[in-house]
Structure formats: C-alpha cells, structure tokens
Amino acid sequence: MIGRLNHVAIAVPDLEAASASYANTLGAKVSAPQPEPDHGVTVVFVELPNTKIELLHPLGADSPIAGFLAKNPAGGIHHVCYEVDDILAARDKLKAEGARVLGDGEPKIGAHGKPVLFLHPKDFFGTLVELEQV
C-alpha cells in the first residue's frame, strides 16, 4: 500500500539557524521559508535527490507542533510521510486493521495541496505517520 517516503519532518526551535545549518554545514539545497498559516507552521524544504526533509517551525497561536517543541525544546524528528495512491482506500484498510486515524477520520488538504491523514503514533511504535495521496 504505502509507496515512496514523501518527507521526514523535523521540528526546530530556530528555523533560520536550522536552515543555515542544512545549507552551509551539511551542504544541502534548501528553500526559502514558506509560511503555511492554514497548517500553523513555517516550512523550509531541504531537497535531497530522492526525497525531502521539511524543517518545521510553529506559526500562529495554535500550531500543531507547539506541544512537541514544548516537550522537545531542542527540536526533533516529528513525523514521516508515506505516499499512497488512494487515501480513502488506505484509510478504510487501516481502520479495518484496527489503526486509529487522528481527527475526524476525513482527509484534509495538507501543506502540499494534497489530501493527507495522520495515524496515531501508539499504533506505529511511537512514530507519527502521515499519509499523502499523490
């Protein structure tokens, strides 16, 4: 069912410093910071040849990563995102297998403009899993 690893998301307390570190110290290609007010984050995309890293920083009062950074003030790896062809079919299969979908169970339009769902970390060994329909 799952296809490519779309991205690894890393929450960081200082987006400018993290972006500079990936660009200069690690020598990767990074984007300009991209505010995503609908998703409560500002994102810097680190473009690798086979996938991307997304550096996330809270934006606004209700950021979904504020709690994570409160628990992990230095930052940390927040989630992995796997691609699926059909997110509704994927959701139904996952629910039939007993996995819990976060929120109301309906796909939302994610930061890339495509339907996404998040799966409960307790069902995936402490890892927050995002599914994105491509």
How far apart CA 90 and CA 131 sit, in angstroms, is: 9
Question: Which position among 83, 97, 106, 130 bears the catalytic label?
Answer: 130
**Tokens 């890339």, residue located:** 112
> Is residue 122 involved in binding a copy of itself (CB under 8 A)?
yes
> Is residue 66 involved in binding a copy of itself (CB under 8 A)?
no
**Which residues lie closer than 8 Å to 108 by C-beta, 6 or more apart?**
115, 116, 117
CA atoms within 13 A on the CB side of 80: 11
Minimum gap (Å) between residue 64 Cβ and a copy of itself = 17
Binding mask 68-107 for a copy of itself (x = CB under 8 A): ----x-xxxx--x-x----------xx--xxx--------
Which of 3, 119, 113 shows the shortest CA–CA distance to 50?
3
132 is catalytic: no
Cβ closest to a copy of itself, residue 1 vs residue 38: 1
> Is residue 31 involved in binding a copy of itself (CB under 8 A)?
no
Residue 107, token pair as written in the block? 């796909």
Residue 130, token pair as written in the block? 């995002």
Binding site for a copy of itself (CB under 8 A): 1-5, 8, 10, 12-14, 17-18, 21, 24-28, 48-51, 53, 55, 72, 74-77, 80, 82, 93-94, 97-99, 121-127, 129
